[in-house]
Homo-oligomer: A and B are copies of this chain.
């Protein structure tokens, strides 16, 4: 009988008692001291697992042996191959630098001075436009209404103080990074967490758009001729910032330290000089251009809504406060005190500058420029220090700081997105780190969306402002409520009432601001954000549900064993040539149950093909389909359907011959049909698709052996 057994015949039924269906013998696996790998080395020359690892010939040192079955890839393994790959790799290296290994991550930490520049620049830079945005609303009720600028400034500084104190407690309670999402999610549940997350994501995007637009406005205040190019300049700046951030946090910190301190020192110096003048010789005289006054006109009524809108506009001053508490793990040890010091320093510096600008602008009587070309700060500097180098220093450092303030968002957005991805509320890609340990997907996503926003709003800060700040205050409020709950849960600890009280006050204050902003700016654009946040929350919930359903589906017992798989293989052949025969041989080496399928346009060519087939030796059964309507994909799919209906338990594999050309352009001349078949089979449940390549000869002389290579 033994000669009747086909050597390729797989055993579908009745495998031996001691077989687990995977071809592994129990005896071998049970033997103590036996490596378990030897048992699987069925024939000489096979090298699975550690057996291979020790014996591998690796002249290029692409892998390092670590342990049984464990290799470590060296940078060699990542090196680009091929001319195009090397070119692209080279460009990438120039733009974002050499790859950084994961274990180098802990070194990527920041001290207090650098930390202030990185995490506080967003908040401090708001002082460049906070006063102006208040004035722009008030002036709608006439120039006289500008007198309310100072009281509103003070109100906002009080809120800021409350927020800073509240957030000192956040840092204390969440030393691993207490973003509003984490705090709300852990203390209040999924939905509040996601609302906070959606609010923050929206706000990060707006931070980039608003900061860059404001920075460009500072430039155009000094150089009005650049005004008409402001959108293009903004887009280029965002692109540059994206590149810097893809290089990683350490270098971006270096880039940002200098301008932050130049701005702070220059502003404090100028404002100090102004106060000295105020208390001694008196402030210099200023007369707003008469046509500005004409354009502002008598103004409408000074309604409560208008005052609230002015307050809401000024509350942009609070944006960016969250950045420090989000970034606690990025600080050098001890992280918590360092972060707290930076937080308080940030609040104090901001408050001082904001107060000074509002106070001096009010006393000098500065009026906002109706055409938006010159900023209030620029006018103030011009009046105080004249048109000299110091004026340009202030304008320039303001511009640079504002542009770099967007960097806070480039830190916060990808970090938050990665946490959301880890929690399965965003696609996996947001969790992966690029060559330089930065969350590349998040950085690129932020960059693209904010560029769209700048273009859509024509790079105007005043147009963007109504969308801004709602997100921040929604997130603030949820995070403070979450913290109240947190302290309540820890109510056996000392002073929990005081801590809960502080955060409760914070929640009330920021909650009121959130409502004021939403109501007073609803029609101006806030509705966009109020619509967007629930949409984002819905999307994140859907993604979360999807990933969870998939996880559930993929878990649990798997009844499939190799022995249980019965193959049915279909090989579409267009012609009987080397590539077809190679593919058929490959198919037959898997299972004897192979059918070649030829689709002909008419009966004549169908019969001619069969003749050719029989002449070749009819080594594999052939089915020819005449397709009178000349389509290939339709009849092929229907044939597979029929095969599948006949024998439901079989696994159908379609094996496609694929000709791979030596040059990419030649590829356009081949495989169009194979591509269409693959696309169609993708949506056919349960069909395995295999591509057997046949590579065109590049050089006649040297040809490697094996299937898939020209001989």
Determine if A522 is an interface residue (Cβ-Cβ < 8 Å). Answer: no
Determine if A659 is an interface residue (Cβ-Cβ < 8 Å). Answer: yes
The answer for the CA separation of A623 and B3 in the assembled complex, in Å, is 38
Instruction: Of the listed stretches A288-296, A509-517, A543-551, name the one at the interface; the rest are far from the partner chain.
Output: A543-551
Q: Is the CB of A102 within 8 A of B628?
A: yes
Determine if A371 is an interface residue (Cβ-Cβ < 8 Å). Answer: no
Q: A22-B620, A69-B623, A638-B77 are in contact. Are A648 and B595 (CB under 8 A)?
A: no
Q: A432-B630, A626-B71, A690-B689 are in contact. Are A562 and B550 (CB under 8 A)?
A: no
Q: Which of A553-571 contact B (CB under 8 A)?
A: 553-556, 558-565, 567-568
Report chain B residues within 8 Å CB of A648.
704-706
Determine if A422 is an interface residue (Cβ-Cβ < 8 Å). Answer: no
The answer for the CA separation of A637 and B76 in the assembled complex, in Å, is 12
Q: Which of A599-621 contact B (CB under 8 A)?
A: 599, 601-603, 606-607, 610, 617-621
Q: A101-B628, A629-B99, A695-B685 are in contact. Are A638 and B585 (CB under 8 A)?
A: no
Report chain B residues within 8 Å CB of A29.
618
Q: Is the CB of A73 within 8 A of B638?
A: yes
Determine if A48 is an interface residue (Cβ-Cβ < 8 Å). Answer: yes
Report chain B residues within 8 Å CB of A427.
668-669
Q: Is the CB of B578 within 8 A of A555?
A: yes
Determine if A406 is an interface residue (Cβ-Cβ < 8 Å). Answer: no
Instruction: Of the listed stretches A51-59, A277-285, A317-325, A491-499, name the one at the interface; the rest are far from the partner chain.
Output: A51-59
Tier of interface size on chain A: 35 or more
Report chain B residues within 8 Å CB of A228.
none
Q: Is the CB of B695 within 8 A of A686?
A: yes
Report chain B residues within 8 Å CB of A563.
7-8, 589
CB within 8 A of A23: which of B8, B24, B625?
A: B8
Q: Is the CB of A71 within 8 A of B625?
A: yes
Instruction: Of the listed stretches A37-45, A146-154, A156-164, A347-355, name the one at the interface; the rest are far from the partner chain.
Output: A37-45
Q: Is the CB of A631 within 8 A of B78?
A: yes
Contact with B along A682-711 (1 / 0, CB 8 A): 110111111111111100000011111111
Determine if A383 is an interface residue (Cβ-Cβ < 8 Å). Answer: no
Q: Is the CB of B8 within 8 A of A562?
A: yes
Determine if A176 is an interface residue (Cβ-Cβ < 8 Å). Answer: no
CB within 8 A of A693: which of B10, B435, B688, B704?
A: B688
Report chain B residues within 8 Å CB of A693.
682, 685-689
A23-B588, A48-B620, A546-B669 provided; 12 other pairs, C-beta below 8 A?
A: A7-B19, A36-B618, A40-B621, A46-B568, A50-B623, A62-B635, A70-B606, A73-B625, A428-B669, A549-B696, A651-B707, A688-B691
The answer for the CA separation of A703 and B621 in the assembled complex, in Å, is 31
Q: Is the CB of A23 within 8 A of B627?
A: no
What's the least CB distance linking A707 to chain B, in Å?
A: 4
The answer for the CA separation of A606 and B580 in the assembled complex, in Å, is 41
Q: Which of A641-697 contact B (CB under 8 A)?
A: 641-643, 645-653, 659-661, 666, 668-670, 672, 682-683, 685-697
The answer for the CA separation of A646 and B51 in the assembled complex, in Å, is 13
Q: Is the CB of B24 within 8 A of A619?
A: yes
A to B CB contacts below 8 Å, 7 in the list = A51-B621, A55-B646, A69-B610, A70-B603, A432-B630, A651-B707, A688-B691
Report chain B residues within 8 Å CB of A691.
688-690
Q: Is the CB of B57 within 8 A of A669?
A: no
Contact with B along A567-589 (1 / 0, CB 8 A): 11000000101110110011111
Determine if A75 is an interface residue (Cβ-Cβ < 8 Å). Answer: yes
The answer for the CA separation of A95 and B327 in the assembled complex, in Å, is 59
Q: Is the CB of B63 within 8 A of A592?
A: no
Q: A78-B634, A595-B52, A704-B685 are in contact. Are A554 and B577 (CB under 8 A)?
A: yes
The answer for the CA separation of A638 and B412 in the assembled complex, in Å, is 35
Determine if A594 is an interface residue (Cβ-Cβ < 8 Å). Answer: yes
Report chain B residues within 8 Å CB of A547.
669
Q: Please list the 5 inter-chain residue pairs (A to B) with the smallest Cβ-Cβ separation, ordered nearest first.
A: A7-B11, A48-B621, A49-B621, A686-B708, A562-B588
Q: Is the CB of A560 within 8 A of B581?
A: yes
Q: A7-B10, A565-B707 are in contact. Are A690 and B690 (CB under 8 A)?
A: yes
CB within 8 A of A66: which of B19, B51, B603, B653?
A: B603
CB within 8 A of A71: which of B53, B103, B623?
A: B623
